[in-house]
Amino acid sequence: MRTALFLLLSVTFCIANAQSPRFKAKYLNSISDSSLQQHVYILASDSLKGRNTGTEGERKAARYIVENFEQNGLKPFNDTTFLQNIGLWSWQWKEFKLESKQRDFENYKDFVYLSTAPVAPEIKAECVFIGNGSDSIFNHIDVEGKIAFVCVKSFRSWYRIASKTKREGAVAIFMVHQSDNDEFLKASERNRVLHQQLSIGTREPVFSESMIKAFAVNQNITEELFQLPYDSLKQLNYEQIKSLPAPKLTLACQLKVEIADANNVVGYIPGKGKTNEAVVISAHYDHIGERHNGICVGADDNASGTAAVIELAKAFAPLEGKLNRDLIFLCTSGEEKGLLGAFYFADHPQEHRFDIKANVNIDMIGRIDSTHKSNYIYTIGNNHYPEFDSLLHVANNMLEPMKIQYDYNKSQGFGNFLRLSDHYAFHRINIPVMGFFSGLHKDYHTPNDTPDKIDYQLMEQRVKLIFTTTYLAAQKTAFTSQTDE
Ligand SMILES: [Zn+2]
């Protein structure tokens, strides 16, 4: 009862301030569909290649956000930089080397590496041919410490024969397709694409010495090394195999492993400065890169939310020094990899001076889903925080009201949406949260999530509601938190 009375008083106070025509004109009117559209088109352009965590495309997006924060006079979250490295590791293939005494072989044309473990330091060993690698051959041919060449039926199911050959002591396994050399070219192309990708993880990758080192090779180099046509090689008996030449090869596959250049972009607008209390407005700006043979530009997911944060920063900028709480504008990296940027921010309070009291999170607010025609928004997580939730309704009544939908709060059927975006990083440490979302659609995580499919006028209405709710949260003096999950 006491809480309720307190809430009523403080909310009434806020409305009096917020409803004045001056408030509306000065702050809300700066939020426009055209500038939201401009941000979305830039963030979702092909040149950012889907903003995958740790990639240059993501860093381009980060630079754009920083520029906008600077233009609007935001301060770096730690008073030094807007970029917060989120402590991930990245690794990517750097070099593949295969040499004989006679020549260097060409990656993807002569050979391709199939395994994930690096070959470093390099291996220097003799080659041995073992036919189709049947069990009996190992009774006759010694593969210990050697590079074994084996004929396979498929490059897709190489693991069984490679691990058997490795158990017999081979240091590397080179696989040649039994019949169709085009299969080598296909395997080569598949792996070329994989080799260009950047891998990201929360820990430094560990590769044990004992991991299998397997290659696919062109039939031509098998012929060159063993000096027999491939069709004749396949027919040899054990004794003939023993009399083949045993050329030496040198091989190395180098990975570049380093701390990933993946960063949250974080700025703030100071409040009156009486406390360190702050409200965090967040949206992830990373996306999933290239998939399904196309660039997933992620216009709705989540160029829309990022554009909203940039627009909100502009709208709140004139309120510097006037609100009870500081406002933190947090564009996170690594969301698509498991909310990594938001977890990092929430779990490293020592990197800033703020005492976070609430989180407003924005993830996909540009579309209309199949169950609506207009004017609605889903909110997530606020059902756990009745006081925060009531601010949303006060804000909504101050504007042209939207339908506020709670369907994703009973989201067992959809998956638990409370855990599926950055608000969860705050909810799990009992900070009141409210996630804004316009719903799922068939273009989700495909190259079809493009900027032309966004309803910018409706997005403007949604951003105005988020502005007003955040304004009330920044003015409110206390929240009690109520968590049951
Ligand atoms: Zn998202």
Reported confidence tier of residue 480, pLDDT bands at 50, 70, 90 = low
**Alpha helices for 197-304 (secondary structure H):** 219-226, 230-235, 238-242
pLDDT band at 415 (very low <50, low <70, confident <90, very high): low
Q: Which helix (H) or strand (E) holds 435?
A: strand 433-437
Q: What separation in Å is there between the alpha carbon of 105 and the centre of ligand 1?
A: 44
Which phi and psi (to 5°) does residue 440 adopt? -80, 160
Residue ranges with CB less than 5 Å from ion ligand 1 = 301-302, 363
pTM of the model: 0.86
Residue 479's pLDDT is what?
A: 61
* Cα distance between the two ends of the chain: 23
Q: Which of 123, 171, 179 is nearest to 149 (CA)?
A: 171
What confidence score (pLDDT) does residue 157 get?
78
**How many angstroms is it from 297 CA to the middle of ligand 1?**
12
The stretch 23-33 carries a mean pLDDT of: 84
> What residues does 248 pair with on adjacent strands?
126
Of the candidates 374, 275, 380, 289, which has an alpha carbon nearest to the alpha carbon of residue 324? 275
Mean pLDDT of 165-179: 94
Q: Which fold has domain 91-258?
A: Glucose Oxidase; domain 1 (3.50.30)
Which range in 80-94, 132-146, 206-220 is most confidently predicted, on average pLDDT?
80-94
User: pLDDT (tens digit, 9 = 90+) per residue, 423-437?
Assistant: 999 999 999 999 999
Please, which pLDDT band fits residue 13 given cuts at 50, 70 and 90?
A: very low
| CA–centroid distance, residue 85 to ligand 1 (Å) | 20
Report the separation in Å between the CA atom of 33 and the middle of ligand 1, taken as the mean of its atom positions. Answer: 21
Whole-number Å distance, alpha carbon 436 to ligand 1 midpoint, is 11
Residue 4 pLDDT: 33
Residues 176-194 pLDDT 10s: 998 888 999 999 999 999 9
Gap between the Cα atoms of 378 and 437, Å rounded: 5
State the average pLDDT for the chain.
91
**CA 76 – ligand 1 centroid, Å:** 24
Q: How far is the CA of 457 from the centre of ligand 1 (A)?
A: 21
Cα of 96 from ligand 1 centre, angstroms: 36
Q: How far is the CA of 363 from the centre of ligand 1 (A)?
A: 5
What does the H/E/C string look like for 336-349?
Answer: CCCCHHHHHHHHCH
Q: Which helix (H) or strand (E) holds 7?
A: helix 2-18
Tokens 């607008």 locate to 269
CA of residue 402 to ligand 1 center, whole Å:
22
Residue 8, pLDDT above cutoff 60: no
The total number of residues written for the chain in this structure:
485
Tokens of 481: 């938190």
Query: Crossing angle of helices 2-18/456-475, nearest 10°?
Result: 120
The hierarchical CATH code for the domain 2-87+260-475 is 3.40.630.10
pLDDT, tens digit, 9 for 90 and up, residues 29-69: 999 999 999 999 999 999 999 999 999 999 999 999 999 99
Q: How remote is the CA of residue 442 from the centroid of ligand 1, in Å?
A: 14
Ligand 1 centroid, distance to 184 Cα (angstroms): 38
Q: Please tell me the distance from the alpha carbon of residue 148 to that of residue 170, in angstroms, as a whole number.
A: 6
- Residues 190-245 have pLDDT tens digits of 999 999 999 999 999 999 888 999 999 999 999 999 999 999 998 999 999 999 99
Distance in Å, CA 367 to ligand 1 centroid: 13
Q: Which of 65, 43, 94, 29 is nearest to 330 (CA)?
A: 65
In the chain, what are the domain boundaries? 2-87+260-475, 91-258
406 C-alpha vs ligand 1 centroid, how far in Å? 18
Which residues of 226-325 form beta strands (DSSP E)? 248-259, 263-269, 277-284, 290-291, 294-295
The fraction of the chain above a pLDDT of 90, given in percent, is 82
Sheet hosting strand 119-129, strand order edge to edge:
111-113, 214-217, 172-177, 147-152, 119-129, 248-259, 89-100, 199-201
User: Dmax over Cα atoms in the chain, in whole Å?
Assistant: 97
Give the whole-angstrom CA distance, residue 86 versus residue 82.
12
| pLDDT tops 90 at residue 341 | yes
Work out the average pLDDT over 102-118. Answer: 95
